[in-house]
Chain A
């Protein structure tokens, strides 16, 4: 595989688009202004160079509008680079939009022929693949119906089936994995895996970092038209996430934090109740260095600080927290009583910290409730239901599925003797 020439070579590619200020030029304008058009130049890609090795699966990541799709289009030959060159070795099959070439009035079968020929295949080649395509799409009963009656899911299934079953050499996919139902998605992945094993080069854009990390051999991160990182997917994804997290923290710190920290009376939560002898005035989050933050990272340290104010001396209050997911699942509800703490009599103002190191919550937004009750947990002094938000970002934990990273360990594989093999059949 290594002797094959690279599938795609992108060499110092710059792409500029014309941005028409008010749509396009008319002849009248041409005559009156004497200039062909009034537009600004927009640089979508700036001196990007990268090599996609043959047979590799290559991921492109980056924020919206960063130039990923432009790069795909250049690789697919849809646009020409303004400067630099793009070279291919192999036939390109591009999926920049599934079912792009479908004509609504034609039957599924006719559209397969049309789409296949757009991808540069002969009628014979398409006819040979027709059964596989129909089978894969699962649309046998509808293949001779006009595609305009298809649901959007069916449309996409047929489009994907055509592109992947027509024996591509280089497959270019723009964010299509997220389409179709669960069952079809799995079939897509299965198929991509098969293509990959067969040595097909796959280039795709995705916003799903786990997908990029699991599927890709290499990845590139494009930011505002510039290639920021290129290499093994984990490194590239990490670099990308680090920047995103940084930006989000800055945004939260500058906007959200001040709002929330100055807040005393409950406005954001779903409810506040209690007799009020002692109150939770606010909740803040601190990172491992003890700096206030609103965003924590999985696997790294975070401290939840509950600030209180007591109107009168309160005997042995209990502080509690509850972490909810955004759709309402209670992940955990720790309190000082369960932890076996006796706090004694509290008066005036102060705070108590609850430290999680490492934070087991997986990335997402969590709603945090804070409460102070008596020791029976029955009398509520103050209960602020889901009044605070903790944003958890991907951190050092390798876990991806579920809500929490369990503190488990895997053993090495050990062989067993004398297991009856009949159990397998």
Chain B
């Protein structure tokens, strides 16, 4: 309970950490905020060239019947980037706040949660562009209104994981490198660049798919494709799994972090 009170009392600080990050991020770059879109756009272009043009990957048809790999990939990539940015950013945020934590008391989760919020703002911008594209190609349906709900769930899920790794990283700096490697593995284990149907063409594809589907990230990506590509409401079991995973993640993350971070100012 005391922690909830403290969290509420320091909400302004969390917000300020977020705005500090956003405001200082693209200072002194000529293109400024444009970079936050140029980067994903470049990744999108590269993957599209490699997988669609060279390997001839083809997504399942969208609600309006189109099979544009770029748009299909765009959805997956935005979701992945959000998760990836939070987990990596959270680790950096805690270490970055180290010198401050040694001088003034504030809850160490404040810079971490602030980082998640700033990632949310960035992702929101990407989503605005994405929704514009979807409307442009005529694949908009009211299911897109579920976007904020799914985003909130993903924010909570990713932050729970980010908190744990941020704490571990404060004690063992190897963790951030390790996480970098693991995230790459997870990226390819999640249907971001490949449509799940592609797996079924392989001999053990069905089994592999069953295994991969356990990953909440798999479910997140597919849930976003439900509402933005297939234009359907995700199945109740999918919702259940996402809710459960998010609740467990943030619950465990916060408890572990608050318990473990009491002396973290000495380790930074």
Contacts and interface: CB of A to CB of B under 8 A. Distances in A.
Interface of A: 17-18, 24-28, 30, 73, 76-80, 92, 94, 96-97, 100-101, 103, 105-106, 110, 113-114, 117-123, 146
Given A24-B173, A25-B172, A118-B13, A105 B23 contact: yes
Contacts of A80: 262-263
Interface SS of chain B: helix
B12 A117 contact: yes
Contacts of A101: 100, 103-104
Interface in B16-40: 16-17, 19-20, 23-24, 27-28
A189 B17 CA distance: 32
B23 A122 contact: no
A78 B23 contact: no
Nearest to A98: B103
A78 B103 contact: yes
The 10 A-B residue pairs with the shortest CB-CB distance, nearest first, are A77-B105, A105-B24, A117-B13, A96-B103, A100-B103, A27-B174, A117-B12, A117-B16, A105-B27, A114-B16
Interface string B91-107: 00000000111111110
B10 interface: yes
A30 B12 contact: no
B265 interface: yes
Contacts of A96: 102-104
B206 interface: no
B4 interface: no
B24 A30 contact: no
A100 B174 contact: no
B24 A106 contact: yes
B178 interface: yes
A146 B16 CA distance: 16
Interface of B: 9-10, 12-13, 15-17, 19-20, 23-24, 27-28, 99-106, 172-175, 178, 262-263, 265-267
A79 B263 contact: yes
A78 B16 contact: no
Given A26-B172, A105-B27, A17 B266 contact: yes
Given A80-B263, A117-B10, A100 B23 contact: no
Given A27-B178, A114-B20, A79 B266 contact: yes
Contacts of A78: 101-105, 265
A329 to B, nearest CB: 40
A94 B103 contact: yes
Given A78-B103, A100-B103, A120-B9, A110 B178 contact: no
Contacts of B263: 79-80
Contacts of A25: 172
26 contacts: A24-B267, A25-B172, A27-B172, A27-B174, A27-B175, A28-B174, A30-B172, A78-B101, A78-B103, A78-B105, A80-B263, A94-B103, A96-B102, A97-B103, A100-B100, A101-B100, A103-B24, A110-B20, A117-B12, A117-B13, A117-B15, A118-B16, A118-B100, A120-B13, A120-B106, A122-B12
Given A26-B174, A27-B174, A123-B12, A118 B23 contact: no
Contact of B104 (A18, A24, A100, A146): A100
A17 B17 CA distance: 29
Nearest to B24: A105
Nearest to B97: A101
A96 to B, nearest CB: 4
Nearest to A104: B24
A79 B268 CA distance: 12
A80 B12 CA distance: 24
Contacts of A17: 266
Given A27-B174, A96-B103, 17 more contacts: A24-B172, A26-B173, A27-B172, A27-B175, A28-B174, A73-B102, A76-B105, A78-B265, A80-B262, A92-B105, A96-B104, A103-B20, A103-B24, A106-B24, A114-B16, A117-B12, A122-B12
Contacts of B265: 78-79
